[in-house]
């Protein structure tokens, strides 16, 4: 065979080719996939958390649409109290009686507004004046009243808990404009009066009137309405007997407004 008839062979290929090495390379397992960087894992976790929070927010907004026409079957705070009782191994019995806003004497909601959110009818869920006052008092080291509105407190009761949690507070703030838009002022006040805690296992103005004054909510006097409103900052510790001064203060606020 002449040189012309021989197949061309690269000299470098002749020198580097190793049949045994080629067989090992063909049968070797593929190299492991590179592990994702730590930062990428955190990004995925953050996306999952944000997705869950967004889904819960949408769920709460849909419930607000339902609550525009129907009363809540339960609330976050009522579930929390039941879990606390179960964890402590004690019995838990809750009482609740729903009373429509139109069936209550006018001084009942007025007493609650005077006590909890004096500008309730004038704002859209956020009392910025009260927030600024709270910031000033905090900077001066003065003990101040909370600046949360009735709408914010209702969002906490419906969908949150009594815990001091920044995520819960974020939801209170985020849901407040939706509640103002979907429910409206009168419905917000009606649900608040009927769902807020008025004592150990006592929910709603109807149950509160019977528990503390042994009367129907429809027969509450002006002084009794102020006495119930005085319990709201700490309903599990306060009673009409130990809040006399605050009750008189609420009555003074109502007189000032000619309520």
Does any domain span residue 125?
yes
Residue in the structure block whose two tokens are 């021989």: 6
The confidence score (pLDDT) of residue 259 equals 93
Number of domains the chain is built from: 1
Query: What is the CA angle 13-19-22, rounded to 5?
Result: 90
Does any domain span residue 153?
yes
pLDDT digits (tens, 9 = 90+) for 166-224: 888 888 899 999 999 999 999 999 999 999 999 999 999 999 999 999 999 999 999 99
The CATH number that applies at residue 169 is 1.10.3810.10
Distance, first Cα to last Cα, the chain: 120
Does any domain span residue 122?
yes
pTM: predicted TM-score of the whole model, two decimal places: 0.80
Does any domain span residue 197?
yes
Average pLDDT over residues 116-134: 88
* H helix count then E strand count, the chain: 12, 3
Does any domain span residue 120?
yes
The confidence score (pLDDT) of residue 28 equals 62
**Is the pLDDT reported for residue 10 higher than 60?**
no
Percent of the chain at pLDDT > 90 equals 64
Whose CA is closest to 205, among 217, 213, 214?
A: 217
Does any domain span residue 14?
no
**Is the pLDDT reported for residue 144 higher than 60?**
no
Does any domain span residue 203?
yes
> 165 falls in which pLDDT band (50, 70, 90)?
confident
Percent of the chain at pLDDT > 70 equals 81
> 147 falls in which pLDDT band (50, 70, 90)?
confident
Whole-number Cα distances in Å, 103 to 107, 108, 180: 12, 10, 22
For 116-127, b where at least 16 C-beta lie within 10 A, e where not — what string?
A: bbbebeebebbb
Does any domain span residue 55?
yes
The confidence score (pLDDT) of residue 41 equals 83
Residues contacting residue 148 through CB under 8 Å, at least 6 positions apart: 156, 172
Domain that holds residue 182: 42-88+95-256
Query: What is the four-CA torsion angle of 58, 151, 219, 238, rounded to 10 degrees?
Result: 110
**Is the pLDDT reported for residue 106 higher than 80?**
yes
């Amino acid at each position: 065979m002449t040189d012309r008839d021989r197949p061309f062979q690269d000299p470098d290929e002749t020198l580097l080719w190793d049949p045994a090495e080629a067989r090992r390379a063909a049968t070797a397992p593929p190299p492991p996939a590179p592990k994702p960087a730590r930062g990428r894992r955190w990004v995925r976790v953050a996306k999952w958390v944000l997705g869950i929070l967004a889904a819960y927010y949408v769920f709460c907004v849909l419930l607000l649409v339902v609550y525009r026409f129907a009363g809540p079957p339960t609330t976050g705070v009522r579930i929390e109290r039941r879990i606390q009782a179960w964890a402590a191994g004690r019995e838990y019995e809750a009482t609740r009686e729903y009373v429509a806003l139109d069936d209550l004497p006018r001084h009942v909601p007025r007493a609650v507004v005077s006590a909890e959110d004096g500008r309730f009818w004038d704002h859209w869920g956020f009392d910025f004046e009260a927030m600024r006052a709270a910031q000033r008092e905090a900077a001066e080291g003065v003990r101040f009243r909370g600046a949360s509105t009735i709408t914010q407190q209702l969002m906490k009761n419906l969908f949150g808990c009594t815990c001091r949690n920044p995520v819960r507070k974020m939801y209170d703030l985020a849901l407040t404009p939706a509640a103002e838009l979907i429910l409206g002022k009168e419905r917000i006040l009606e649900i608040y009066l009927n769902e807020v805690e008025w004592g150990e296992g006592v929910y709603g103005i109807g149950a509160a009137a019977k528990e503390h004054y042994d009367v129907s909510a429809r027969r509450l006097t002006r002084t009794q309405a102020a006495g119930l409103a005085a319990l709201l900052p700490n309903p599990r510790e306060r009673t009409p007997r130990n809040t006399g001064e605050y009750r008189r203060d609420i009555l003074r606020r109502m007189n000032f407004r000619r309520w």
